[in-house]
Amino acid sequence: MTALSPRRRVAVGVSELTFIERSLRRSVRNVDALLMAIMLPVLVMFLFTFVFGGSIDPSGNYVNYVVPGIILLCAGFGASSTAVDVAGDMTTGIIDRFRSLPIPATAVLTGHVVASLLRNLVATGVVVVVALAVGFRPTGGPGDWLAAISVVALYILAITYLFAAIGLASSSPEAASGYGFILLFLPYLSSAFVEVSTLPSWLQPIAQYQPVTPTIEAIRSLLMGTSMGNNAVIAVGWCVLILVIAATWGAWLFRRKAGHR
């Protein structure tokens, strides 16, 4: 047989690219999950605009309020599927093969996360198009849109990386999807669907300072022209903090945790 040892130095980024390619192939082949990832956000948006919207805001403008919240809620759905994917890798032998290769400890997770980010951005795009069709009338210019998309992408990246690490830490795909539930709950305790001032006073500080509210307010400000304040700074700060913690935790888990079957 051809002897290809000793090993060459692997160029920076090749492992990550290889894993992104792997995860994208897996996404495209899992048609049911891909359809679900795109349909669910649209259905949730219909639910909030047509079913709940009338009673929350009888003026009929609720769609203009709720779209940023829907986008973040759905980012959570998309991210939680990453936890299940990563936990799935742990239950097949393949994670041990990857762990025995001389590759960066974060590469496998990065592959899952970037593929999930791309899936999620496609879903976000579909939600925005459908929202525009049912009366969403944003006022932002192209620069505002670009900034809003960047904030959305950063938020998705951070929360997805966190879910990927949770997937690594969980004992099974079922457990991974269970842990994700808590994080999926966060948008309901924010300014996503109702204004923070309408919440009971003990809940208001939690809603005000958790990561979802500043992120939503930053997107709202960019797209709808509401006041920005320091929401963008706080949102970016939260996302970067979550990303750093998740990446560090994920790399540590990858080095330490053997697959379990």
Binding site for other proteins (CB under 8 A): 1-11, 14-15, 17-18, 21-22, 25-26, 29-30, 92-94, 96-103, 256, 258, 261
DSSP character at residue 11:
P
Question: 254 with 109: CB under 8 angstroms?
Answer: yes
Question: Which of 8, 143 has the CB closer to other proteins?
Answer: 8
Would you say 59 or 100 has its CB closer to other proteins? 100
In the bound complex, what is the minimum distance in angstroms from residue 249's beta carbon to other proteins?
18
| Residue nearer to other proteins on the CB measure, 30 or 226 | 30
CB of 82 to other proteins, least distance (A): 15
Q: Helix 142-169 and helix 173-185: axis angle, to 10°?
A: 140
Smaller CB separation from other proteins, 85 or 217 = 85
Task: Specify the residue, 96 or 144, whose C-beta has the smaller distance to other proteins.
Answer: 96
C-alpha dihedral, 167 to 35 to 108 to 12, nearest 10°: -150
Whole-angstrom distance, CA of residue 72 vs CA of residue 60 = 22
Closest separation between CB of residue 256 and other proteins, Å? 8
DSSP secondary structure, 80-139, as one string: HHHHHHHHHHHHSTHHHHHHTSSS-TTHHHHHHHHHHHHHHHHHHHHHHHHHHHTT----
> Closest distance between other proteins and the C-beta of residue 22, in Å?
6
Least distance CB 257 / other proteins (angstroms) = 9
